[in-house]
Amino acid sequence: MIDNKISEQEKVILVGVISQVNNESVVKEHIQELCLLVKTAGAEVADVITQKVSKINPATLIGAGKAKQIISQAEGIGAKIIIFDDELSPAQIKNYHKMSKNIKILDRNGLILDIFKKHARTKEAITQVDLAYMEYLLPRLTRQWTHLERQMGGIGTRAGMGETQIEIDRRLIRTRISKLKKELKKIEKERITQSLNRKSEYRVSLVGYTNAGKSTLFKALTGADVFIKDQLFATLDTTIRKLVLDSSHKVLLSDTVGFIRKLPHNLIASFRSTLKEVLEADLIVIVLDISSAEIEDHLDTINNVLEDMGANDVPVLHVLNKVDKISDDKIEKVKRSFVDSVIISAQHHLMISELKKKIVEKMESNFQTVELQIPYKDGKIIANAQQGVKVLERNFEDHIVRLKVRGAKPRIKQIMNSVS
């Protein structure tokens, strides 16, 4: 069995590209985030290089001369890995490998996949990450790539994806992809069954930029013993717990995987079943780090992912976390940009009761109570009218069933349409 952990910190050089699309300020922010990703992967940033380009070089992304210089610099300082913040094409990776057989070349996507591989714990998460990695690897699988994987462990070659998979060729990878997709379908069926069992409950889903404090908030609200660590993507699996808001309101609260800029599309696709908790939520609580200078950019990233998932119609509540880390002046400034938000500190349990009250308000505004009269003969309609809602009263009279039900407005509308 191959050790999943990095025995010693590998030295890494990071490369950012300044272009007409991304100016120097944007690239600087992205590189800072890339540094955090590298730290999470267990490596050490030895140097950061930025290159301004007027147009992208299809062979090496940056200029050929600069590419050779970076390779030479890596060899000079003993860096074993070069990571580009931008996505590299299979041809570009192959061209870099031709320049040096002793240095691994990764892009941001490859690094994120590696971190996901490291943090996957459950069968579902492991299967999802394996599928995304295989789909990423397939077009990049060359003789030189596999040779490099055979020679080097560490970042980019996790167990199950590295030395144990050396002899994999494209045919075997396609077979593996097919098998993983079948396994995910089985897992998704199980998740759908579990979801149906929870259909009558009001569901709240925590989403947010990675490291914004979602899991800390989840623990503060529910008392659940969830894994919390100050690093990106500390948890990949959805955790669900009952949360009592007050004497008459309770919800099912879920904590999902964090989002990040440039999240690989195939990774989003692989985590579709996990993220269904968000799609099926009655309320999405977006957790943001109020102390971050990029809070608005983080919100844009989250909104884009939610839109890609088709969850942009679900009601939203913004929660600004880590208020203990900023001054009162900045709090007032952020408040003006985030109207109707709740400002908290999950770590210090500040304003948690206010957040609960706000969730109750959202519940009440989204709920409706109706009374129904349905003939006995319409058995299917009677059964359907009691799905996904709370049945407050049920009375059987001559030839009819009287129901009083309470539920989310979209669900009540569906029931009313079926009854009329």
Topology adopted by domain 11-171: Rossmann fold (3.40.50)
Provide the pLDDT confidence category of residue 409 given band limits of 50, 70 and 90: confident
The answer for residues whose C-beta is within 8 angstroms of residue 87's C-beta and 6 or more apart is 107, 108, 109, 262
pLDDT given for residue 283 in this prediction = 93
Query: d(Cα 138, Cα 276) in Å, to the nearest integer?
Result: 27
Residue of higher predicted confidence among 42 and 257: 42
Higher-confidence residue: 264 or 105? 105
Query: Would the CATH topology of 11-171 be identical to that of 198-364?
Result: yes
**In this structure, which CATH number among 3.40.109.10, 3.40.1400.10, 3.20.20.70, 3.40.50.300 belongs to the domain 198-364?**
3.40.50.300
- Who has greater pLDDT, 225 or 418? 418
pTM of the model as a whole: 0.72
Residues 27 and 17: beta-carbon distance below 8 Å: yes
Mean pLDDT, range 306-310, rounded to an integer? 81
Least confident residue range of 102-116, 195-209, 275-289: 195-209
Reported as a single tens digit per residue, the pLDDT across 11-38 is 999 999 999 888 998 899 899 889 988 9
Mean pLDDT along residues 96-113: 89
% of the chain at pLDDT higher than 70: 83
Q: How confident is the model at residue 402 (pLDDT cuts 50, 70, 90)?
A: very high
> What's the confidence (pLDDT) of residue 145?
43
Every domain of the chain and the residues it spans:
11-171, 198-364, 366-419
Specify the long-range contacts of residues 60-67, CB closer than 8 Å, at least 24 apart.
60/92, 60/95, 60/96, 61/17, 61/86, 61/88, 61/92, 62/15, 62/17, 67/95, 67/96, 67/99
Confidence of residue 369 (pLDDT cuts 50, 70, 90): very high
pLDDT in tens, 176-192: 889 998 988 887 777 66
- Evaluate if residue 142 carries a pLDDT over 60: no
Record: fold of 366-419:
Alpha-Beta Plaits (3.30.70)
pLDDT at 226 over 90: no
